[in-house]
Structure 1
Amino acid sequence: MAEISDYIHNPLWDTFCAYLEKNYRVKPALAFSKCSWEPGWNIRFQKGGRSLCTVYPRENTFAVMVVIGRKEKERFEAALPSFRPEIQQIYRDTQEGNGQKWLMIELENHDVLYEDVKRMLEIRASGKVRLSSAPE
């Protein structure tokens, strides 16, 4: 994980991992994917055997993939107007397959989308919806 942190070279990465460990008690699991969409190493965070999110490390940045499935769709769409316009656009632009949308959000250093990603994970993990994007 130290090598991945060095490669990403983005303080938000360490903040994100600490947030996931503290709030969801999840540990990162390194995996190699041959998927044609995003082949290579990724870091998966699972809670109770269910995927919370998958992170794709990139040099100086990382992307977080959050799946909005059938269980979360209604709650997420009800909260969607409270998300930043960038997240709303990503959601609209992402095609649905098997009742799911696989949202890929690129996070850079001190990214304003970070709070929205955290809210998406809340919906994914527990179904709770925090309508405000104000920092905790």
Structure 2
Amino acid sequence: MTLSSGTTVAVADRETTPQIGDRITDKLPPPDDIAVCDWIGPEAFEHWTELRNWIEEFYPGVFAPDWLYGGKKRGWSLRYKKTKAFCTLLPEYRMFSAVVVLGRAEREKFEERRYVWRPHLVKLYDQAKTYIDGKWLTVAISSEDDLHDVTELLTMKRPPRAQG
């Protein structure tokens, strides 16, 4: 599939029209903003840009976002990491998700605030599998509320630098 940016995008394991949630799986090159916007759509791209700008504003100079290629099944993702992972953004067809790994300390903080979080986020948290490095929470971002949930999780995970 060729996007309006001229970027060709392979769809994992099929030569048909992409389906909601499909990843960008062409190995080269990493997607640029035009390719991401074409793939996830203009509305999702607004949220994508808002989250990226929020990270840059509240964590200036902390993270150098890094495109990772996870193979034909997982495709491209944009990881924010210093010494440990902060979050990973997944551009998916007509949507995008953010993955936030909550270690033991973050899970304790989440549980302390369990009844403050939106029920949808608590359900995602409860359903997420816990691995040795933590609970991998994948939040689809399709509204300002979803975006707010993710920024709250990230703030809980790592307090922002003091502004000013």
TM-score normalized by structure 1? 0.81
**What's the RMSD between the two structures over aligned residues?**
2.0
Equivalences for residues 42-61 of structure 1 within 5 A: 42-46=77-81, 48-61=82-95
Q: Does the alignment pair 1:112 with 2:145?
A: yes
The structure number with the bigger radius of gyration is 2
**Letter aligned with residue 122 of structure 2:** Q
Q: 1:99 to 1:7 in 2, by over 3 A?
A: closer
Equivalent position of 2:110 in the other structure: 76
Question: Who is 1:17 aligned against?
Answer: 52
1:29 aligns with 2:66: yes
- CA shift at 1:115, angstroms? 0.8
> Matched residue of 2:39: which SS?
helix
Q: Which residue pairs with 2:29 in the alignment?
A: none
Letter in 1 for 2:38: D
CA distance in 2, matches of 1:15, 1:99: 28
**Kept after mapping to 2: 8 A contact 1:43/1:55:** yes
1:99 is displaced (CA, Å) by 5.7
Among 37, 46, 65, which residue is 1:5 paired with?
Answer: 37
Higher strand share: 1
Deviates more, 1:21-30 or 1:53-62: 21-30
- Aligned residue in 1 for 2:130: 96
List structure 1 segments (4+ residues) > 4 angstroms apart after TM superposition.
none
Percent identity, aligned pairs only, is 24
2 CA distance for matches of 1:100 and 1:34?
23
CA contact (8 A) 1:33 1:42 kept: yes
